[in-house]
Structure 1
Amino acid sequence: MDREEVVSKKFSTVYRGLDEQAVRQHLKEVKSELDEKDNRIAQLEEMLNERQENLNSFKSVESSIQEAILSAAKAGDDIKARAQNYGDSIIKKAETEGEQIISRATQQSDHMIQHNEDLKRQAKIFRARYKMLIQAQLDLLETEDWERLLGFENDESDK
């Protein structure tokens, strides 16, 4: 039954029955109150729908924020892992280069030590040979042949 049926309903009259105008007036008041309540219900439903939309919007924003936070955390973890790997590779490269530098320096040091030993050995050999040469020359000077040679020159100059 709708409002119009309530208002337009016909009642049969009976002896000592109800006053038709009073019933009609009452029905109009009922219709009016029902209209007001229906309007209020419609307003409340509209407000409820708006709030539900707002709630859904907030839930969507919340979901987006949570996704953004998770994404940022994952990106942060990825950046941290890449930075750690990059740092580790730099350290490993530096250690390798350091070992190569030490190896080259050790090789050069060994080469210089060997070269220095060779020079010392050659200096000893030179000294020994030079000493032998000088000794041979001294021996030659002390021999009788030298005296004879000197005497031979004196003989020829006397002549």
Structure 2
Amino acid sequence: MGITPMDINNKEFKKSFRGYDIDDVDDFLEQVVEDYEKLFKENGALREKMATLSEKIEHYSKIEMTLQNTLVLAQGAADQAKSNSQKEAELIIKNANDTAQRIIDQAHTEVVRITSEYEKVKKEFQLFKSKYKNFIQTQLDILSEIDDEEDESSDSTADDAKEASKTNNVVDSD
């Protein structure tokens, strides 16, 4: 370490003939001691302040590093969450599309089945209609024949009755 204010204050010089005025030298040394002591104390205070500031800088550097690490972790977590959300959204969309396609396929199959069933029922109805028409026509033909037979039978019965009546008249006349 360098010279202290006490070193300056305790320093004694040899006396020589024709040297400096002792009172002037003592006054000057007193002034130097006061100024040096003031500077020495100020230097000590500045060193303490510098040590305190250095500790604070180190503390703030640690906080900054912690914040940076936290930000990196938070950014990583945010990126991971975003990625997971995007994957989940894609999966939901895929599932929705698959479900929609399955519903469309089922609806298409159902439309084909219903159309086929409709065509089958339509053909069966046409066949039934045709058979029923033929049945009705046959029944009408039978009824027509019965009417014709009744007409013939009635004509023949009327002729028989006329003849029987004539025969009765002839027999009565005798």
TM over 0.5: yes
Aligned to 1:50: 52
Identity %: 25
Aligned to 2:164: none
Query: Which residues in structure 2 correspond to 1:68-107 (within 5 Å)?
Result: 68-107=70-109
Structure 1 128/10 Cα, relative in aligned 2: closer, same or farther at 3 Å? closer
Q: Secondary structure of 2:74's match?
A: helix
Q: What residue identity is the alignment partner of 2:99?
A: E
Gaps in structure 2 of 5+ consecutive residues: 162-174
- Report the Cα offset of residue 138 of structure 1: 3.1
Gaps in structure 1 of 5+ consecutive residues: none
Aligned-residue CA RMSD in angstroms?
A: 3.7
Structure 1 89/150 Cα, relative in aligned 2: closer, same or farther at 3 Å? farther
Q: Secondary structure of 2:75's match?
A: helix
Q: Is the 8 A contact 1:140 1:146 kept in 2?
A: no
| Alignment size in residue pairs | 158
Q: Which moved more, 1:132-141 or 1:31-40?
A: 31-40
Q: Is the 8 A contact 1:7 1:27 kept in 2?
A: yes
Q: Which moved more, 1:73-82 or 1:60-69?
A: 60-69
Q: Which moved more, 1:122-131 or 1:18-27?
A: 18-27
Aligned to 2:167: none
Structure 1 39/83 Cα, relative in aligned 2: closer, same or farther at 3 Å? same
Query: Which residues in structure 2 correspond to 1:1-159 (within 5 Å)?
Result: 33-143=35-145, 147=149, 151=153
Q: Is the 8 A contact 1:7 1:28 kept in 2?
A: yes
Q: Is the 8 A contact 1:7 1:24 kept in 2?
A: no
Structure 1 10/139 Cα, relative in aligned 2: closer, same or farther at 3 Å? closer
Q: Which has the higher contact order (CA 8 A, sep 6+)?
A: 2
Q: What residue identity is the alignment partner of 1:133?
A: F
Q: Which has the larger radius of gyration?
A: 2
How many angstroms apart in 2 are the aligned matches of 1:115 and 1:58? Answer: 82
How many angstroms apart in 2 are the aligned matches of 1:11 and 1:142? Answer: 172
